[in-house]
């Protein structure tokens, strides 16, 4: 196993855990805020998708599947307070877009070399992903961090 394979294992495990937590939640449950000021799962999913798209695209330009028109604008810090389901996507729509982004991330990972993982990341993401290895690995750990928040809704 090489470093890229290990990162892929982490990405696949994050999908397994995250999708397991989401599997039986309804669209209405994805809009539940477990505490005042907490982000609901629907917004978090959009945030994760936009984040993955932007981070991987920054280290591997041209590698990511295009996001649907207007998608990124629906899931910004400024829209985190939106609760109207008509202004958001459904769970099925979000997971379909996630799957396309994750497939593109895995394809980009497969095309680079282990040596590429040591390359410095673009300046904009360097504070939290100093190199390409961190940029790719972050996609799994970011999902798992949010999945931990979803456990509260499942209670």
Q: What would the pLDDT profile of 123-147 be if each residue is shown by its tens digit?
A: 999 999 999 999 999 999 999 999 9
Going by pLDDT thresholds of 50, 70 and 90, the confidence category of residue 105 is: very high
| C-alpha span between 42 and 138 (Å, rounded) | 20
Average per-residue pLDDT for the chain? 96
The structure tokens listed for 27 are 């669209």
pLDDT tens digits, 36-91:
989 999 999 999 999 999 999 999 999 999 999 999 999 999 999 999 999 999 99
pTM: 0.95
Q: What gap in Å lies between CA 137 and CA 132, rounded to an integer?
A: 8
Short-list 103, 100, 89, CA closest to 45: 89
User: What is the band of 95 on the pLDDT scale with cuts at 50, 70, 90?
Assistant: very high
What residues have CB less than 8 Å from 64, skipping those under 6 apart?
53, 56, 57, 101, 104, 105, 108
Q: What is the pLDDT of residue 50?
A: 98
Q: Are 136 and 9 in contact (CB under 8 A)?
A: no
């Amino acid at each position: 196993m090489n470093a890229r394979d290990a990162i892929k294992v982490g990405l696949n495990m994050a999908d397994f855990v995250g999708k397991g937590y989401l599997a039986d939640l309804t669209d209405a449950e994805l809009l539940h805020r477990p505490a005042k000021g907490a982000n609901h799962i629907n917004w978090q999913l959009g945030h994760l998708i936009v984040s993955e798209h932007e981070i991987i695209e920054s280290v591997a330009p041209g590698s990511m599947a295009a996001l649907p028109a207007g998608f990124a604008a629906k899931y910004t810090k400024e829209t985190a307070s939106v609760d109207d389901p008509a202004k958001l996507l459904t769970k099925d729509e979000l997971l379909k877009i996630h799957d396309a982004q994750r497939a593109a991330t895995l394809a980009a990972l497969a095309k680079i070399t282990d040596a590429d993982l040591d390359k410095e990341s673009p300046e904009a993401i360097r504070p939290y992903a100093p190199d390409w290895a961190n940029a790719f690995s972050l996609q799994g750990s970011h999902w798992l961090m949010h999945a931990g928040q979803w456990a509260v809704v499942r209670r």
